[in-house]
Structure 1
Amino acid sequence: MSVHAVAHLNFHGRARAALEFYRSVFGGQLTVATYGDFGMPAELPDAPKVVFGQVVAENGFRVMAYDVPGDDAPVAQGAPATRRENGTTVTTEPFFLSVRGETVEEVGALWERLADGATVIEAFGPAQWAPAFGMLTDRFGVTWILDVTAEHAQA
């Protein structure tokens, strides 16, 4: 038996934009199905929203997302919050997405693309435990940790 855990992100009307952005960062194949594709009448406001979406890349990256049906609720200002203090991460978020690669060059390129429109929590650079580490909250409100495996210190 083989089991794989895949992050499934919940959005309010922004799933398609988020998935397209993640494909532009990580590459891969984008699949999107809307509520309308599954039979919801086109005149209903949720019909064009994403009921199933995913990005799957050959490099191992995979993420799923959908739009929660109903009113598009704005993201609450100030919550959840993540910050770095004295070398520790302080957060109210229930999870982060982690992307780990083998070289600083490889992960640094992903960082540069993912950082577009993001709030940087800790800039990507050398860390005590890894050749490189960085943390950011992207333009869709998802917090990411990017790092390089310690046994692959080459740039």
Structure 2
Amino acid sequence: MSVRLTPYLVLPGTAGEAIAFYEKALDAQVLFKQTFGEMPASPDYPLADEQKGLIAHAMLQVGESQLMFSDSDSGKPVQQGDHVTICITTKDASKSKQFFEALKEGGTVIMDLHEAFFSPAYGQVKDKFGVTFHLFTEGAAMN
């Protein structure tokens, strides 16, 4: 049996912007995207006009993995940061570097991409949306 873990990011009205950013930064493809306004109307949950353009559910394909997104519709603040972290694993150090450089744009480097005993290229970055990524390249480091 195969099990895949898919991180789900709930953002405070910035999911559409995040989706566009990750499409570029991670070479991602949108598999599905639906706004609250595109969902069937429910008299139990009427939407304000400003909510209709928010993302109700989206899924991106990133290599062999997937990311899910939505905007918060509850009006409550969304805790950003380390409540969701994502490890991006590649076998190509140049691809890890490409992802790292793209994700740090507007973000904060936690640990520079470097050779470590467990990886030829490993680093950590918090992107401009407050999401922490670990970039991990498979393989033994050169000593």
Query: For the superposition of Structure 1 and Structure 2, which TM-score range results when normalised by the shorter chain?
Result: 0.7 to 0.9
SS in 1 for 2:68: strand
Instruction: Work out whether 1:101 is the aligned partner of 2:105.
Output: no
Aligned CA RMSD, in angstroms, stands at 2.3
Shift of 1:107: 1.0
Instruction: Work out whether 1:15 is the aligned partner of 2:15.
Output: yes
| Structure with more contact order per residue of length (Cα contacts < 8 Å, sep ≥ 6) | 2
In 2, Cα distance between the equivalents of 1:43 and 1:129?
A: 50
Q: Which runs of 4+ in 1 moved over 4 A?
A: 40-43
Shift of 1:149: 0.8
Identity of aligned residues (%): 23
In 1, Cα distance between the equivalents of 2:72 and 2:47?
A: 17
Q: TM-score, normalised by structure 2?
A: 0.83
In 2, Cα distance between the equivalents of 1:112 and 1:9?
A: 21
Equivalent positions of 1:85-100 (< 5 A) are: 93-100=82-89
Q: TM-score, normalised by structure 1?
A: 0.77
Shift of 1:74: 7.3
SS in 1 for 2:37: coil
Amino acid in structure 2 at the alignment position of 1:33:
Q
Equivalent positions of 1:1-155 (< 5 A) are: 1-30=1-30, 31-40=32-41, 43-57=48-62, 59-71=63-75, 73=77, 93-151=82-140
- Greater CA drift, 116-125 or 33-42: 33-42
- Conserved 8 A contact 1:26-1:61: no
Shift of 1:37: 0.3
How many residues of Structure 1 are paired with residues of Structure 2 in the alignment?
137
Q: Going by fraction, where is helix more abundant, 1 or 2?
A: 2
- Conserved 8 A contact 1:42-1:48: no
- Conserved 8 A contact 2:114-2:121: yes
- Greater CA drift, 129-138 or 22-31: 22-31
